[in-house]
Amino acid sequence: MHTAKDFAPILWASIEAAGGDRDVLRRILGSKPKSDIILFHREVQRAWTNLWHEIDTAKPRLPAPWVRLSEDTLEDIFSYVVSQGAAYYDHILTSPEELRLDVTPSEVPFLGVPREVFIQHFGEEIDLQA
């Protein structure tokens, strides 16, 4: 299991500094070099993939609707957890039964921000970077 400390500091530092504000995160990432934006993006993906794996193994402790959620909904839920910062991330890892299953895309403040910033600043798709 990967806890918050296992991810690059840029992930949690940027999320904490943004304080849940999409525009602030956009400015923070926009001030970073290309390599840092790529690292942030990859760490976000790695963090929610880790959550997906860890929480999937905790199915017996999760509410019944868990098994009926779409992949898009799960991605929103895990992105929401990551966007809340390191302490919340670790809390959900240790208490997956407290995972909110009613998260909507509008509650995920940072969804797509690295991609938007990367296209705006470099004219390239971030997922195509080596």
The model's pTM = 0.90
pLDDT greater than 80 at residue 59? no
pLDDT digits (tens, 9 = 90+) for 20-57: 999 999 999 999 999 999 999 999 999 999 998 888 78
pLDDT greater than 80 at residue 79? yes
DSSP 2-69: --GGGS-HHHHHHHHHHTT-HHHHHHHHHTS-HHHHHHHHHHHHHHHHHHHHHHHTTGGGS-GGGGG-
Instruction: Write down how long the chain is.
Output: 130
Placement of tokens 């929401």 in the chain: 80
pLDDT digits (tens, 9 = 90+) for 83-109: 999 999 999 999 988 888 889 888 998
